[in-house]
């Protein structure tokens, strides 16, 4: 199930990028949402979780960004934040939304800072805020849908997940 | 003696820290550069994943195309009338074009020029991906090295420039659009001003107004609105004569020393589905 959720999200990111306008209010970051959803299914085996998201990060780098080890590191950082929130709070629909928001804010901020520092682009802080709020709505909705589906499926098939 | 050793130790730590900092900075710079040449390993992975994506996207494309087709059918009669008028005009342009072609070849022979748009063949491609990254304006097209595409080839829609190829794999290529606000990439442009051309540099894109800035134009030169902006052919990437857009506004720079022009492109960059790559004839 872990691989399926991640792969669906990964490919949806690519496919929807053609249909969703860059200036719209619904920018997809489904792969990042999938990192939040799959965490409980690793049953606190953090090493396996980090290994998995590192591979997804590398794949994301090569396929969508033409970079190497850029999203790899960011995904590991997001994995750390997701792990920390899961350690502090119990996993439920609200913490999943919180983790999605935290991951998107972190992701956008890191990419913004990297571009400002290393790529000589001229962006303002307002554009960072714009990129964040434009990514929130669709990804929170996606998080809710995937959470409900996986919750239902894991209960039905008695799949173990950490709480 | 002890203090000296302590000092040496501290110096070593500082040097190691500086070295690590330089290495990390160099590494990050190398990592975030998107227009580098991909390794065979990366090319294979990218091609494989994008092929799977194309297969998965097929049903969605099919539905979207059917909807567009249906919408198009409703406007069929209007389109037919437009095309009929265009055909009549085309006859006129055909004769003109042949005359101009002849004149151009004579001129080129006379001046020994060999970098014009006529030396390029057109290669049509479909867009399969748009940038996921909010900051880089790039698209991925379904033509790659296999079709003869190489880095830095210009990409157009119709006759309008939209960007250049920044990296290629065997079956796909990544194109950076001219809307990308990368200040490193500047394009040399010329503006038709009466019978003459005024030269400037396309420098930056304003997302809010959807306009580009052209700098480096003397304040003494008067340029009219709606003047056509084309590439100059300088820089050896874009051939001369590709249309980029039209002038929509004229301002002066902060020191009142030169003109800063506003330009708008005819291309709707939010809706790019098909593009043409200009491949140089060898």
More reliable by pLDDT, A40 or B183:
A40
Residues 60-89 of B with CB under 8 A from A: 60, 64
pLDDT at B249: 84
Nearest CA in chain A to B25: A118
- Whether residue B174 lies inside any domain: the answer is yes
pLDDT at B282: 55
Quote the minimal CA–CA distance from B191 to chain A in Å.
Answer: 26
Domain ranges, ordered by start, for chain A: 2-156
DSSP B116: B
Pairing mode, strands B274-280 and B154-157: antiparallel
- Most confidently predicted of A118-132, B127-141, B164-178: B164-178
pLDDT at B115: 58
B209 and B148 inside one domain: no
Query: Between the CA of residue A7 and those of A52, A59, B217, what are the distances in Å?
Result: 12, 11, 51
Q: Where residue B233 sits, what CATH number does that domain have?
A: 2.40.10.350
Give chain B positions within 8 Å (CB) of A21: 270-271
pLDDT at B22: 67
Mutate to test the interface with A, among B52, B56, B133, B208 (most CBs of A within 10 A): B133
B259 and B119 inside one domain: no
In total, the C-beta contacts within 8 angstroms joining chain A to chain B are 105
Give chain A positions within 8 Å (CB) of B50: 14, 63
Quote the minimal CA–CA distance from B196 to chain A in Å.
Answer: 34
B138 and B244 inside one domain: no
Q: Report the domain count for chain B.
A: 2
B162 and B226 inside one domain: no
B117 has pLDDT over 60: no
Instruction: Report CB contact under 8 Å: A62, B29.
Output: no
Residues B70-85 have pLDDT tens digits of 887 777 888 888 888 8
Degrees, nearest 5: CA angle A6-B130-A79 = 30
Mutate to test the interface with A, among B21, B32, B40, B138 (most CBs of A within 10 A): B32
**Residues in CB range of A57: below 8 A, 6 or more apart:** A71, A72, A73, A74, A75, A76
Alpha-carbon distance of B235 to B201, in angstroms, equals: 12
**Confidence class of residue A140 from pLDDT cuts 50, 70 and 90?**
very high
Instruction: Report CB contact under 8 Å: A64, B133.
Output: yes
Full-model pTM: 0.79
Alpha-carbon distance of B63 to B55, in angstroms, equals: 14
B184 has pLDDT over 70: no
pLDDT at B261: 85
| Structural domain boundaries, residue B247 | 187-264
B171 and B219 inside one domain: no
Mean pLDDT score across all residues of chain B: 80
pLDDT at A37: 92
pLDDT at B65: 83
B183 has pLDDT over 60: no
Q: Which two tokens stand for residue B87?
A: 């055909």
pLDDT at B278: 87
Residues A58-117 have pLDDT tens digits of 999 888 888 878 888 899 999 999 999 988 988 888 999 999 999 999 999 988 888 787
Alpha-carbon distance of A159 to A155, in angstroms, equals: 7
Task: Note whether B268 contacts A: Cβ–Cβ < 8 A.
Answer: no
- Whether residue B248 lies inside any domain: the answer is yes
Is residue A35 within 8 Å of A59, Cβ to Cβ? no
A123 has pLDDT over 80: no
Mean pLDDT score across all residues of chain A: 87
- Most confidently predicted of A17-26, B167-176, B239-248, B260-269: B167-176
Mutate to test the interface with B, among A66, A118, A128 (most CBs of B within 10 A): A66
pLDDT at B30: 58
Residues B245-274 have pLDDT tens digits of 888 888 877 777 778 888 888 888 877 888
B122 and B249 inside one domain: no
Task: Note whether B40 contacts A: Cβ–Cβ < 8 A.
Answer: no
Nearest CA in chain B to A134: B134
Residue with tokens 């998995």: A52
**Confidence class of residue B182 from pLDDT cuts 50, 70 and 90?**
low
Mutate to test the interface with B, among A8, A11, A12, A14 (most CBs of B within 10 A): A14
Quote the minimal CA–CA distance from A88 to chain B in Å.
Answer: 31
What SS3 state is found at B249? strand
Residues 150-179 of B with CB under 8 A from A: 166-167, 174
Is residue B224 within 8 Å of B196, Cβ to Cβ? no
- Whether residue B34 lies inside any domain: the answer is no
B126 and B252 inside one domain: no
Instruction: Report CB contact under 8 Å: B46, A13.
Output: no
Residues B11-38 have pLDDT tens digits of 788 878 877 776 676 666 655 666 677 8
More reliable by pLDDT, A35 or B241:
A35
Nearest CA in chain B to A124: B135
Q: Where residue B129 sits, what CATH number does that domain have?
A: 2.40.10.340
- 3-state SS string for chain A: CHHHHHHHHHHHHHHHHHHCCCCCCCCCCHHHHHHHHHHHHHCCCHHHHHHHHHHHHHHHHHHHHCCCCHHHHHHHHHHHHHHHHHHHCCCCHHHHHHHHHHHHHHHHHHHHHHHHHHCCECCCHHHHHHHHHHHHHHHHHHHHHHHHHHHHHHHHCCCCCCC
Give chain A positions within 8 Å (CB) of B57: 14-15, 18
- Whether residue B5 lies inside any domain: the answer is no
B206 and B256 inside one domain: yes
Among B35, B46, B182, select the one facing A62 at the smallest CB separation. Answer: B46
ipTM of the complex: 0.85
């Amino acid at each position: 199930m872990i691989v399926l959720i991640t792969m669906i999200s990964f490919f949806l990111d690519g496919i929807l990028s053609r249909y969703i306008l860059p200036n719209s209010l619904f920018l997809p970051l489904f792969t990042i949402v999938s990192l939040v959803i799959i965490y409980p299914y690793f049953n606190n085996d953090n090493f396996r979780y980090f290994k998995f998201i590192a591979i997804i990060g590398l794949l994301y780098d090569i396929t969508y960004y033409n970079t190497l080890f850029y999203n790899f590191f960011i995904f590991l950082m997001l994995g750390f934040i997701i792990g920390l929130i899961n350690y502090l709070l119990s996993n439920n629909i609200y913490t999943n939304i919180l983790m999605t928001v935290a991951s998107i804010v972190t992701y956008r901020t890191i990419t913004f800072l990297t571009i400002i520092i290393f790529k000589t682009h001229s962006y303002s802080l307002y554009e960072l805020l714009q990129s964040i709020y434009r990514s929130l709505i669709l990804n929170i909705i996606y998080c809710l849908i995937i959470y409900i589906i996986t919750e239902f499926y894991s209960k039905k098939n008695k799949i173990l997940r950490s709480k | 003696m002890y203090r000296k050793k302590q000092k040496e130790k501290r110096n070593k730590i500082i040097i190691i820290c500086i070295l690590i900092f330089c290495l990390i900075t160099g590494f990050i710079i190398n990592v975030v550069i998107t227009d580098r040449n991909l390794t065979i390993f990366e090319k294979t992975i990218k091609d494989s994943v994008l092929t799977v994506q194309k297969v998965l996207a097929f049903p969605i494309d099919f539905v979207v195309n059917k909807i567009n087709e249906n919408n198009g059918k409703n406007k069929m009669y209007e389109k037919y009338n437009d095309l009929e008028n265009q055909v009549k005009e085309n006859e006129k342009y055909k004769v003109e074009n042949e005359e101009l072609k002849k004149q151009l070849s004579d001129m080129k022979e006379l001046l020994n020029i060999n970098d014009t748009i006529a030396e390029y063949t057109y290669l049509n491609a479909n867009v399969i991906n748009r940038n996921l990254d909010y900051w880089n304006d790039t698209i991925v097209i379904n033509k790659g090295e296999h079709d003869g595409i190489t880095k830095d080839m210009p990409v157009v829609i119709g006759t309008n420039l939209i960007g250049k190829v920044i990296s290629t794999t065997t079956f796909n290529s990544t194109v950076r659009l001219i809307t990308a606000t990368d200040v490193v990439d500047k394009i040399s442009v010329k503006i038709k001003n009466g019978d003459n051309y005024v030269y400037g540099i396309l420098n930056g894109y304003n997302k809010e107004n959807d306009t580009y800035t052209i700098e480096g134009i003397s304040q003494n030169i008067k340029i009219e609105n709606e003047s056509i902006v084309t590439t100059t052919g300088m820089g050896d990437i874009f051939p001369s004569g590709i249309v980029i857009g039209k002038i929509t506004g004229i301002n002066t720079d902060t020191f009142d020393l030169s003109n800063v022009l506003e330009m708008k492109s005819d291309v709707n960059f939010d809706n790019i589905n098909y593009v043409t790559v200009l491949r140089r004839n060898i």
